Amino acid sequence: MGIAESILLTIATAATPLLIAAIGELVVERAGVLNLGVEGMMVMGAVCGFAGATVTGSPWLGVLAGIAAGAAFSLLFAFLTLSIAANQVATGLSLTLLGLGLSGMIGESFVGTAGNKLSSLAIPGLSDIPLVGRLMFGQDPIFYLSILLTIGVMWFLFRTRTGLTLRSIGDNHGSAHALGIPVIFYRYLAVMFGGACAGLAGAHLSLVYTPQWVENMTAGRGWIALALVVFASWRPLRVLAGAYLFGAVTIGQLHAQALGLGIPSQLLSSLPYLATVVVLVIISRNRRLTMMNTPASLGRAFVPDR
Amino acid sequence: MMRVELVRRPQHSTLFSVLSPFIALVLTVIAGALMFSLLGKNPFEALYYYFVEPLTGLWDENNRWQLHELAIKAAPLILIGVGLAVCYQSNNWNIGAEGQFILGAIFGSMLPVVFPQFQGPLVLPAMLLLGVLGGALYAWIPALLKTRFNTNEILTSLMLVYVAQLLLDWMVRGPWRNPEGNNFPETRRFHMDAVLPEILPSAGRANLGFVFALVAAVLVWVLISKTLKGFEVRVLGASPRAGRFAGFSAARMVFFAFGLSGALAGLAGISEVSGAMGQLRPVISPGYGFTAIIVAFLGRLNPLGIVAAGLVLGLTYLGGEAAQISIGVSDKVARVFQGMLLFFVLGCDTLIHYRIRISGFRRAAPAEAEPVAGRA
């Protein structure tokens, strides 16, 4: 395996959790809900995924545990913001703070434990294709899932009636309600989908990317995922592109650190965060374009009067 | 099916705006008791160590030092929380106070670390000013990006926290590392003139940082409730459109709110390192900048409420340490407490604007009026 190939492989591994979490949040935001708790749900997915895999001995059950944890955790947010109309920004923040605390407590006994890695799944035949074979068909199972998820969400949002309904809720919850669409119900499902995705992304971190549990191991990836959704102007394919761009920055700076170019490692480590800021500035500079793409009801509480 | 409905109150309830933080505290304590039972601990014993033991200094002369420790923990929380209140009231979502705290600490430490030969009574005021400046400048980055490029300040201010943490890490391992420190990642210790004096050295370690916090709280309270600027903060926060008609500049408010909260976070940062620590280390904050968000909301964005809230959250830090030592609960529990508290606070705040109506097993009547879409 050539060095270029191995670099590309690791880029995909670094991009996958960002992609999954961002795709989940994209659906949530398309439904008009801003959940800033991605980081918290992700870290809960990471710890529960790791714990599930360690306790049962099966990384697959770990993945399921991560997904379930993310979805269950998102219900807290859903109840507060959807059922009792709490402020979405503040509630999302509290989900992140609670998730970071809770995961630290749950994971305390797992610190330093050897992980249970989810092994790669080479697709017979296809993975032997020269050049692209290993890259596209010799990856971890969650990688395939992330690609399927992206395509699935694209199809759902723009090719199905339910997807259209969901988008209409995000653009004008008042009108959707007047048409008899159960706004809150849809939003509950969307938030749970986002939670499940964030949980899966976290499980990928603790079962594939670095198979171990470290406190705060998400290291801001949930926030970067949130930024990706804005960067992608709420389009799934652009989320994919953005996630791989960030995967490339992450892996690129790691390799630069290994080479020891005399650049402080801290400066290199801060590149993904700085890149997020730069990218956000570039994309939001065009005020009209941002206004056009943002779901119009994003972040607003909805209380049906009857 | 049982339905829970929210009915908007014609006017917000004064009763519940006073009661809701207390209801939230009670709910948090109940949830905490449940959590301790699940962990297999005696909940009453655990809660005692959490919320009573650190306060025994109130009546016991020998434990007076614990009150001082509480003041040390509460001071940064109050300072930052008060600034955040101005931000949040004006609808500017600064969540990067942790980074502004760190930059304040770095700026202020410049004098004792880089120019240790510069001594005298002027050092400390200069350090504090530099700290204020560092925090404010760092907070102005997201403010500038928001006003110039329309960039979401939540994400940029948060990203800058990670950058600040890495910058501090580099400083104390690299250029600012103590030359006589056996390669430990820390700066030289501050000289005597650069150390923030303690309030009552005979009784405990609490330093002037707590006094700064109280003064800041009172000043910001006056600013918000008694001045035109404060009125501007509230109008622009409640309705940017109304603010525009009144001739208030939203852009200038962004700089004002971010600058003020950054300055206070920076002051908290330099007070923490020159008071409690006496040098810079790779990590100087147990998440004060984030916990202060909880403080701001628990204090209902009112500076005087925030003083009380800062003491409560300071107590969770102390209680965490006490409970770890005495009954062996992880100190991580403190952060769980803090997170739960914010959840309950936000949930209870609903009661201020809505009545909750629980109706039995009947279908709701069809909607006849425009739905009320409350703003977040």
Q: Are B217 and B85 in contact (CB under 8 A)?
A: no
B373 pLDDT tier (thresholds 50, 70, 90): very low
Residues A262-290 have a mean pLDDT of 87
Which residues constitute the domain of residue A167? Answer: 3-293
Q: Is residue A301 part of a domain?
A: no
Spell out the domain ranges in chain B.
Answer: 3-359
Indicate which of A41, A44, A250, A270 best probes the interface with B, i.e. most B CBs within 10 Å of its own CB.
Answer: A270
CA nearest to B353 within chain A? A85
Picking from A36, A98, A104, the nearest residue to B343 by CB comes out as A98
Q: Are the Cβ atoms of B150 and A99 closer than 8 angstroms?
A: no
Of the partner residues B156, B338, B347, the one whose CB lies closest to the CB of residue A97? B338
Is A87 part of a structural domain of the chain?
Answer: yes
Residue A65 falls inside a structural domain: yes
- Partner-chain residue, chosen from B159, B290, B369, that has the shortest CB–CB distance to A273: B159
Q: How close, in Å, is residue A57 to chain B by CA atoms?
A: 24
Q: pLDDT tens digits, residue range A164-220? A: 999 999 999 989 999 999 999 999 999 999 999 999 999 999 999 988 899 889 999
Chain B nearest CA to A138, separation (Å): 33
State yes or no: pLDDT of B293 exceeds 90.
yes
Query: B370 falls in which pLDDT band (50, 70, 90)?
Result: very low
Number of domains in chain A: 1
Q: What is the pLDDT of residues B228-268, one digit of tens each?
A: 999 999 888 888 888 888 888 889 999 999 999 999 999 99
Comparing CB atoms, the residue among A86, A98, A108 nearest residue B339 is: A98
pLDDT at residue A26 greater than cutoff 90: yes
CATH code of residue A256: 1.10.3470
Q: Which of B28, B84, B148, B346 to probe the A interface (max A CBs under 10 A)?
A: B346
Q: Which chain A positions have a beta carbon within 8 Å of B290's beta carbon?
A: 97
**Which residues of chain A are within 8 Å of residue B335 when distances are taken between CB atoms?**
97, 100-101, 104-105
- Mean local confidence (pLDDT), B355-368: 59
- CA A283 to chain B, closest CA, distance in angstroms equals 8
For B45-63, the pLDDT digits (tens) are: 888 888 888 888 788 877 8
Residue A302, in any domain of the structure = no
- The C-alpha of A67 sits at a distance from chain B's nearest C-alpha, in angstroms, of 21
B3-359: CATH number: 1.10.3470
| A90 → closest Cβ in B162, B297, B366 | B297
Nearest residue of B to residue A273 by CA position? B159
pLDDT at res. B273:
94
* pLDDT tens per residue, range B177-210: 988 878 888 998 898 888 888 888 887 888 899 9
Indicate if the pLDDT at residue B128 is higher than 90: yes
What is residue B361's predicted lDDT score, i.e. its pLDDT? 54
